Amino acid sequence: MTVEFRTSAAGLRWMRRTLLATAAAVALAACSSDNEPDAYVERPVEELYNIAMADVGEGNYEQAAKSFDEVERQHPYSSWATRAQLMSAYSYYEAEKYDDAIIALDRFIQLHPGNPDVPYAYYLKALSYYEQISSVGRDQKMTRLAYDALQDVINRFPTSEYARDAKLKLDLTVDHMAGKEMDVGRYYLKQKQYLAAVNRFKSVVEVYQTTSHVPEALYRLVEAYALLGMQTEAMKTAAVLGHNYPGSEWYEDAYAVAQGGQPVTDTAQDSGWLPSLPALW
């Protein structure tokens, strides 16, 4: 799952404000990205900041991060240093150096808890985790971290523009976690570990009940219960599926299973055979 931050309305508005706030001061120095401050050369703070902003403008984000770091290194007590810290984190984020961005953002939040840009710092930290969410087939540690960070933005700054965007991304993150549970549950079905599969699918139904995976989870429960010989549970689950998702394709398949037919795929059992169940109606 990848989200282009450059298209984020909240991020664009923050960058616009940042550029407007510094444009006048930046104009005081000559604009050149060729004078990279890798070696220690004492320069006026405006010149260093201008070099870094030029790197941002040219899309040289990794170099921009280093340039902003140089602003703080040479002028740690300047008012420019505070903004440079946050711009460094933003540049690391755009360069896809997410771990570096998170470290920089944590430091900014710790050093400047009352800064008006702290909500943005929390938001950017959440995005740095969100961008690293992997496919459902892999470990979901980053998904959990993204969930916690997005929820933190919502809890701390509920009326901010960042909270509104965080809520949208939180829904996608929850759906992703449910998808992981489904992936593991299907694996257990294929391995004929039906009780383990039941636990995974029940988790989707109970914990992630607002996601798009619930209809299939209910159907897979019908499969697993049927294979365990738990006909009453299979019938009850199929009825729940029919009541809540009457137009779902999974409901039609659950009815077929209840009639003793084959599952929609061969996931549950390699032979495709299911024990016969009495009709629901």
Query: Per-residue pLDDT for 133 more than 60?
Result: yes
Residue 214 domain-assigned (yes or no)? no
CA 151 to chain centre: 11
- Quote the pLDDT of residue 19: 55
Residue 205 domain-assigned (yes or no)? no
CATH of the domain at 105: 1.25.40.10
- Quote the pLDDT of residue 34: 46
Residue 148 domain-assigned (yes or no)? no
Mean per-residue pLDDT, 166-177: 93
Average predicted confidence (pLDDT) for the chain:
81
Angle at the Cα of 182 (from 179 to 186), degrees rounded to 5?
A: 145
Residue 13 domain-assigned (yes or no)? yes
Residue 92 domain-assigned (yes or no)? yes
Residues contacting 140, CB < 8 A, separation 6+: 134, 176, 177, 180
Confidence of residue 234 (pLDDT cuts 50, 70, 90): confident
- Quote the pLDDT of residue 46: 84
End-to-end CA distance of the chain: 42
Q: What is the DSSP letter of 29?
A: S
Looking at the 3D structure of the chain, how many domains does it have? Answer: 1
Residue 97, amino acid = K
Q: What is the DSSP letter of 98?
A: H
Residue 182 domain-assigned (yes or no)? no
Query: Per-residue pLDDT for 65 more than 90?
Result: yes
Confidence of residue 259 (pLDDT cuts 50, 70, 90): low
Mean per-residue pLDDT, 54-75: 91
Query: Per-residue pLDDT for 269 more than 50?
Result: no
What is the domain extent for residue 43? 9-112
From the list 244, 250, 243, the residue with the least C-alpha distance to 281 is 243
Residue 33 domain-assigned (yes or no)? yes
Residues contacting 249, CB < 8 A, separation 6+: none
Task: Provide the whole-model pTM.
Answer: 0.72
Query: Per-residue pLDDT for 28 more than 80?
Result: no
- The three-class DSSP label of residue 210 is coil
Residue 50 domain-assigned (yes or no)? yes
Mean per-residue pLDDT, 119-139: 86
